[in-house]
Amino acid sequence: MIFCTTDFTLPYLNFAAEYYLATRKHFDEDVFMLWRNEPSVIIGRYQNAYEEVNLEYIKEKGIHLARRMSGGGTVYHDLGCWEFTFITEKADENIEFERFMNPIAEALRKLGLDVRITGRNDIMLYPDGGERGYKISGNTQYKKGNVTVHHGTLLFDTDIEEMVKSTTPAEYKITSKAIKSVRERVTNIRKWLSNDMTGEEFARRIGTYMTDSEYILNEEDLAAIHELKDFFESRKWIYGETPAFDIKKTVSFEGGTLEFGFTVKKGIIVSAGLSGDFFSSDDPDLDAALSGVEFSPEEVSSALKRNCSGIFKFDIDETVRKIFS
């Protein structure tokens, strides 16, 4: 097995590196990666960003939003959380978690931790030999041709409070066809180590347990990875893959009350409606104004300013803020 680390802390670069090593670089051995991101919320391949994430909060805090290639739930990454990836070219049509989770669990046991694989894709830590377990690792995977990419988290010293704030959706009425995440009790590995260590030392211990064969990304690799980054960072990938969903939002303003209704598919408004006790100098047609518009604060604001200027004392900027809060 070949060990590869990255110096990237942007999720878009790390996902690009993982994808590059899985699809464009050929090794005769399996690849094991360790990487980490600055504060980021990562949604699963089939999830709805508007449902799973507090978008207003992460924008305010400068937290990145990214979508990964694999399914599963929403996770929070920061520099206290290590991510690991196994890449293997062995053809296997079935999703199999334990094959990749077992060596991680064994590496953690070498650090004196009582960990067990539970459920479909979790590694739990049982402090002091107790019966109550805490989640320290969630795992998921995807396949590209005959290549399997398995990746998971290792909560080493993560800001759990920030994790909760970032991944708690804002309080608007929303119905989704997406699969909802199951929230679990979590803990940090560092808290339970008998001998404290830094995050960097922890990563070295895990990496050297896996293999002593290391691959360093070269200039050609880095150029290709930076090219792939544009895809993972694109709004089309992050929001355009969002499953269809409906959203309703009531906004009160000086001139009355408006109730907006939207149906959004792949990040685009496919229908919209408007009702309320407002006054207007014209007859606003919200469906005509917003159908086909990207569901983003900037585009919705522009469409409303073009088509709803006749509504009495209508504060469009405040309305858009409330729709997306």
pLDDT of the chain, 325 residues: tens digit per residue: 999 989 999 999 999 999 999 999 988 899 999 999 999 999 988 887 877 888 888 989 999 999 999 888 889 999 999 999 999 987 666 778 889 999 999 999 999 999 999 877 899 999 877 778 889 999 998 888 889 999 999 999 999 888 888 887 655 333 333 223 333 578 999 999 999 999 999 999 999 999 889 999 999 999 999 999 999 999 889 987 777 788 888 888 777 777 788 888 888 988 887 776 665 556 667 778 888 899 888 898 898 888 777 776 778 888 888 888 7
From 240, 258, 273, the end of a domain falls on 240
Give the total number of structural domains in the chain.
Answer: 2
Other Cβ atoms within 10 Å of 92 Cβ, number: 11
Instruction: Dig out the tokens for 142 from the structure.
Output: 């995807």
* 37 & 181 share domain: yes
* 18 & 120 share domain: yes
Is the separation of the CB atoms in 137 and 82 below 8 Å?
no
Per DSSP, the three-state class of 19 is: helix
Q: Shortest CA distance to 89 belongs to which of 6, 213, 217, 1?
A: 1
Integer Cα distance of 280 and 258 in angstroms: 12
Range of the domain at 278: 245-323
Residue 176 confidence (pLDDT): 39
From 222, 240, 258, the end of a domain falls on 240
Integer Cα distance of 293 and 286 in angstroms: 11
Long-range contacts made by residues 272-278, C-beta under 8 angstroms, separation at least 24?
276/250, 278/311, 278/312, 278/314
Edge to edge, the sheet with strand 40-43 lists 64-67, 40-43, 75-77
DSSP letter for 189, please.
Answer: G
* 39 & 184 share domain: yes
From 221, 240, 259, the end of a domain falls on 240
Integer Cα distance of 323 and 121 in angstroms: 35
- Quote the radius of gyration of the chain (alpha carbons, Å): 23
Integer Cα distance of 60 and 231 in angstroms: 24
* 110 & 235 share domain: yes
Long-range contacts made by residues 113-117, C-beta under 8 angstroms, separation at least 24?
113/189, 113/192, 113/193
* 199 & 286 share domain: no
Residue 206 confidence (pLDDT): 95
* 19 & 84 share domain: yes
Residue 277 confidence (pLDDT): 63
Predicted model pTM: 0.81
Is the separation of the CB atoms in 158 and 80 below 8 Å?
yes
Per DSSP, the three-state class of 282 is: coil
